[in-house]
Amino acid sequence: MVDVTPKEATHRRAVARCRIHMQPETASMIASGAITKGDVLAVARVAGIQAAKKTPDLLPLCHPLLVGSVYINFTIEDSYVEVEAQVETFDRTGVEMEALTACGVAALTVYDMCKSVDRDMTIGELALWEKTGGSRGTYRRKSLEASIDEALEQSSAGLAAASVDGLDPDDLD
């Protein structure tokens, strides 16, 4: 386990997101409260909060810390539910793992509560979207669209430079 005792305690925050892909009918049933097991999002929210607090029990080298707050939010779209977990603390180590765990367990709870109507659901795209605090400062994930645009710009710039240098861009592999 990494020794965090020499580190200064700071305010730390992490945001994670994932999606549960499902049939449009399932998303509609969640939105209208028609799932027979009960209020899917309320139960998933509580499960996510519990998971954030229990993260060190699940991940052997994850430091126990005082979780200051956990927020679990959902966005229902036509064919998926997006889960967002935000965790905050004032401590010597970050809460990225708590946010990821909360998000994943909330998604698993949605799956569990809806599996009787949709066995084709998939859970994916679990990722850290933001982290603040600590010695490394702020991290923000770029959206997929922004990453693609940046890659295209770099690729175009490279081809333009090759043309200027007298190389034929069509000869580049």
Tell me the catalytic residues.
112
What is the rounded distance in angstroms from the CA atom of residue 123 to the CA atom of residue 107? 7
Q: Positive or negative CA dihedral for 101, 115, 46, 27?
A: positive
Q: DSSP H helical segments within the chain, as ranges?
A: 24-32, 40-58, 96-114, 144-164
Burial of residue 166 (CB within 10 Å: 0-12, 13-18, 19+) is: exposed
